[in-house]
Chains A and B, each alone.
Chain A
Amino acid sequence: MANASEVAEKAERDDIRSRWLLSAPALLIVFLAAVGPLLIVVVYSFLTPGNYGDVKWQFSIDAWVNVLLERDVFDDTLSLAGAHLLIFWRSVSLSALTTILTLIFGFPTAYFIATRPEGRREIWLFLITIPFWTNLLIRTFAVEEVLRNDGIINSTLQLLGITDHPVQLLYTNFAVLLGMVYVFLPLMVLPLYASMEKIDFRLVEAAYDLYATRFQVLRRIIIPLVKPGVVAGSILVFIPSLGAYVTPRVLGGGTNLMIGNLIELQFGQGRNWPLGAALSISLMAIVMVALLVYVRNTTRLDGDHG
């Protein structure tokens, strides 16, 4: 007869096995859909571009060199790739601005919803999610319609006589920024609301009682307590902003590219798949570094709650 410890061991082994079995489908999908393609991208980034797209199975680090440097056509010397750096800079700065602006606009919105009486909040949350019902492309084209030279803004300005020729709004960094703020705002509002809703508003009363003015209550009580939501919202907005493709393509025209567009270019007209692959991995690296720096900074300042 098996003794008790053997029975327990067997039960544990069965338990572990059934856990693996149960999570196997998910693990398989993650592997096939994420890890596999990622490996392919890594491998491609070390190959030579083919003549009509595709790759030649010939090892080369040219793609990685070309991410940051460019070879002079005449004397073969390397210099910094100004165009790429500009696009990297534009991506990072526009994404950072998008994050800051969605935070500025999203914070009061989330506060408003969180302070509504219970039962009304759901209605406001529902309204916040309505834009998700429409395809991103369509929403972006809607913004384009508004910003066009003969769009609502310009025709109104001209009607009022403020300007006699259309102001160039479309195909500018401003247009890209506006589009991204519009698209990503709900992603900021929702996590902000989630942490604001948890605030005990008696703390706000206590702070008022202890001579804190409205501004001080915001700075000393509400913002520190909402910090987990700020961190989550910023991550949710910053990362997809960095990889944004549709918005800069439609609203930035061909001139205000972001990393996503640059990558697409290499796989399309550029016919340089290895460079596209190297750029993709660079983008991931930027995201990871930015994330690490951000999370480390916010948790250090924040102490242990949250």
Chain B
Amino acid sequence: MLRATQPAIEARGVTRLFAGTGQNAIRALDNVSVSISENEFFTLLGPSGCGKTTLLRLIAGFDFPTAGEILLHGQDIAQLPPYKRPVNTVFQSYALFPHMTVAENIGFGLKMLGKPKAFIDARVDAMLRLVHMEALRNRRTSQISGGQQQRVALARALAPQPKVLLLDEPLSALDYKLRKEMQIELKRLQHETGITFIFVTHDQEEALTMSDRIAVMSAGRIRQVGTPGDIYGRPAERFVANFIGETNFLTAAITVTGDCKVRATLQSGATIDATVAEGFQPNGSATIVVRPEHARLISGAGDLSGTVDNIVYFGTDTNIHVHLDGGEAFTVRQQNARSASCGFQRGDRVGISIGNNVAQVLRD
């Protein structure tokens, strides 16, 4: 990935406390530091209440940090009001102005910046083309559909050509199909405009599809930052592994066998090879994770063995829940072939084969 010398947005030790009942102030953000590059599609992912929206509001200027700095191209903007930041927001509720037309909404930012009318008109036209809304130029925002409102909100935020575009769960109000369409649309817009996008969502699938990098947040902290591949394939801690995708967690005794390599011994005595993140020294017992689609079910003996407990079919794949001999539950996902059957039945004795570099030791 291309890294600019200076990040577009950088948070340094940002903390935001909200007055709570009694002595316990609520720590919405707890010493968060993150650096987002120029032209990056960066996603803040986490469950509700994890602080992702608070971080977004601090960057937008709707709220101010209790401690820490927010740098835009190296300049601290943490105390500037929103109208002095070259940053625009697409709101979850869109927040379109009901007393203005589509064109007036899109041109609002430029008008406030005091741009000449001819310039605004030209730019509004360009924005309408960009989001394929030319025909609805003079409609009231109450007369257009949710998906169209979404596009107007995007065009309105992009029209002043912000340095950074903030998107606060903008797709959550759309139905599934439209959401998929808008995900691709957003990627295209980001590519065409070259603007840094900071996207907030609680939808892991959305985050994985769209982002260059993802920051997974929980309880006011950033748990892991990385590419979708990193986050999914090499989750650093239990929360990340659990929040994103399905995962098998196994408790095992660990013996270090080499550089970043360990042997994990399960309750049943079975052993599997696992990898460890660099610089992490597990000792004794640890949790290892295996993604269900990375394991393979075989009828003979495998790395693990157990009994088929349940078979759940869902279109493209089938999940086979296995009761391991050591007592743990383990799920294997296999892609469905053209024939409907997965080849196993409840109660079958099965083996599970786990390849190299598949199992991972978690930092709990």
Residues of A within 8 A of B (CB): 200, 202-203, 205-213, 216, 220-221, 224-225, 302-305
Contact = CB atoms under 8 A, between A and B. Distances in A.
B88 A209 contact: yes
- Going nearest first, the 5 A-B pairs with the smallest beta carbon separation are A210-B109, A206-B95, A211-B112, A208-B82, A202-B95
Interface residues of B, number: 25
A210 B81 contact: no
B89 A211 contact: no
Given A208-B82, A211-B113, A305 B93 contact: no
Interface string B81-113: 111000111010101111100000000110011
A207 B88 CA distance: 10
A211 B60 CA distance: 11
Contacts of A202: 91, 93, 95
Contacts of A203: 95, 97-98
Given A202-B91, A209-B60, A210-B156, A305 B83 contact: no
Contacts of B109: 210-211
Main secondary structure on chain A at its contact with chain B? helix
Given A210-B112, A210-B156, A211-B83, A205 B99 contact: no
Given A211-B112, A213-B83, A206 B97 contact: yes
Contact of A205 (B95, B108, B156, B157): B95
Contacts of A213: 83, 112
Contacts of B113: 211
B206 to A, nearest CB: 22
A225 B61 CA distance: 24
B99 A208 contact: no
Contacts of A211: 83, 109, 112-113, 160
Contact of B83 (A212, A225, A302, A304): A212
B140 interface: yes
Nearest to B140: A304
A206 B140 contact: no
Contacts of A200: 93, 95
A211 B112 CA distance: 6
A209 B82 contact: yes
Residue of A209, A224, A304 with highest tally of chain B CB at under 10 A: A209
Nearest to B93: A202
B62 interface: yes
Contacts of B60: 209
A208 B81 CA distance: 8
6 contacts: A210-B88, A210-B112, A213-B83, A216-B112, A224-B99, A225-B98
Contacts of A303: 99, 140
B331 to A, nearest CB: 42
B313 to A, nearest CB: 43
Contact of B160 (A206, A210, A220, A224): A210
B83 to A, nearest CB: 5
Contacts of B62: 205, 208-209
Interface string B132-157: 00000000101000000000000011
Contact of B99 (A209, A212, A216, A225): A225
Nearest to A224: B99
B176 to A, nearest CB: 25
B196 to A, nearest CB: 16
A210 B99 contact: no
A261 to B, nearest CB: 42
Given A207-B108, A212-B83, A305 B160 contact: no
